[in-house]
Every structure is written in structure tokens, then in C-alpha cells.
Amino acid sequence: GAGVSQSPSNKVTEKGKDVELRCDPISGHTALYWYRQRLGQGLEFLIYFQGNSAPDKSGLPSDRFSAERTGESVSTLTIQRTQQEDSAVYLCASSRGLSYGELFFGEGSRLTVL
Amino acid sequence: QKEVEQNSGPLSVPEGAIASLNCTYSDRGSQSFFWYRQYSGKSPELIMSIYSNGDKEDGRFTAQLNKASQYVSLLIRDSQPSDSATYLCAVNTGNTDKLIFGTGTRLQVFP
């Protein structure tokens, strides 16, 4: 498809397990973003990739969170030793660059930690 | 001070009225400003982008930017019940494409 694709759409895991969330951006989009949205809350910035530059990791809440992106393609967000407070929808978005306009969002990965 | 601030609402307006949504931001170097709409259980979708001081109109929507006062607003004319959603203000930081969102304002348009 032509949009941002995220998988899995839903993930239920037990506390202490590791999870990996995947984002496939729109082809040609150099920028890729991860946000976290807890129930009833706004979008919390996690990390931002721009081309081959070093990512801006300033929003990652702890060292249990990490993300990778290979070139301008797929990104994975990994959460190690999950905690109940990690339960949220994780949204990925991609863009050609803000001067060109908007971020395009995926449908999100809903993570539930029991 | 939060980087992007919005009143959480809810803002309730009658059908046909003008809804006014406001946002303030802290980084004087910000250059790109966006309004997104998010329906419950859905991902955000772009309503308006604005980059220069002044007004920008698109249909029933008008975005207003005042960099000196560090605020951006969204006016929705002839509000419809289908406009009921959460409206998110987003602002870039400094000279980067890092985009920070406000917590959103919930708008309710009643018939």
C-alpha cells in the first residue's frame, strides 16, 4: 500500500517480556517519527530519524526503549522488560520534511502489558 | 513550561457556530506549525499547516500564526457535529524537523 504500515496492530504481552514494533514508511520519505499515546492523552515524542543523520532520541523515556532504522526504510522500536506503564498506542509517522508539509501517520500498534 | 500548550477542553459549541482553538509554544526558533484532527480510536490527520505570520484559510478552516506572541490558533466556521474530535497543535523545534505535539483540545459540536 501507499501509506505508513505498522505491525503488529495489537500486542498483548506479559510484564518483563520484550516487544518489537515495526514501521514501514512511505517510500521516499526521509524522516520517520515514533510517538507514544497513552489512553486519553496527547502524542508523546519518542524518537526521530532524518535520512542518514544521527537520530534524535531525546524523547525515549528510559534505556529500556531503543529504535533502529536502516537507511530510509523500515524502523523497529524495541521495548525491553516491558512494564504496565508502557501500555499505549505507539504511532509511527513519516515525512519528506516539514517544509514540504505534513507527517503521515500509520494506524498505530496498541500495546497492552499485563 | 511545556513546549506546546493547549487547553484540554472540552470546548462545546452549537452547530453553525465558530469554534476557536488556541495553542502557545515556547521555542522562538520554531518555523513550522500544524493542526491535526484526531477522531477517537483513529490516527491524527492534517487539517492545516502554516509557516508565516498571518492568516491562512482553507474552506471552513482558518489558521492564524503570531510568532511575536508565540501562538497559533485554528478557527472552524459553521461548525458541524462531524467536527467533534480532538485537535492537536504541532510545532517544530528550532531549526529541525523534530515535531512536538500539544496534548490536544477536545471539541464537541452539538446539534
* Span A101-112, pLDDT tens digits: 789 999 999 999
Chain A residue nearest residue B87, CA to CA: A42
Given an 8 Å threshold on Cβ–Cβ distance, is B103 in contact with A31? no
Given an 8 Å threshold on Cβ–Cβ distance, is A43 in contact with B88? yes
B24 reaches A (C-beta below 8 A): no
* C-alpha count within 13 angstroms, C-beta hemisphere, residue B71: 9
Facing residue for A43 by CB, picked from B32, B98, B101: B101
Facing residue for A31 by CB, picked from B88, B97, B103: B97
**pLDDT higher than threshold 70 for residue B1:** no
Residues from chain B contacting residue A58 (CB–CB below 8 Å): 98
Given an 8 Å threshold on Cβ–Cβ distance, is A45 in contact with B98? yes
Facing residue for A102 by CB, picked from B43, B46, B92: B46
Each residue of B47-78: pLDDT tens digit? 999 999 999 999 999 999 999 999 999 999 99
Each residue of A70-83: pLDDT tens digit? 888 899 999 999 99
Give the per-residue pLDDT at A35. Answer: 98
Residues from chain B contacting residue A98 (CB–CB below 8 Å): 31-32, 92, 97, 99
Average pLDDT rounded to a whole number, residues B6-24: 95
B21 reaches A (C-beta below 8 A): no
Average pLDDT rounded to a whole number, residues B102-107: 95
Residues from chain A contacting residue B5 (CB–CB below 8 Å): none
Q: CA-based angle B83:B87:B90, to the nearest 5? A: 145
Average pLDDT rounded to a whole number, residues A26-53: 93
Are the C-beta atoms of B50 and B105 separated by less than 8 Å? Answer: no
**pLDDT higher than threshold 60 for residue A39:** yes
3-state secondary structure A36-88: EECCCCCCEEEEEEECCCCCECCCCCCCCEEEEECCCCCEEEEECCCCHHHCE
Given an 8 Å threshold on Cβ–Cβ distance, is B102 in contact with A33? no
B105 reaches A (C-beta below 8 A): no
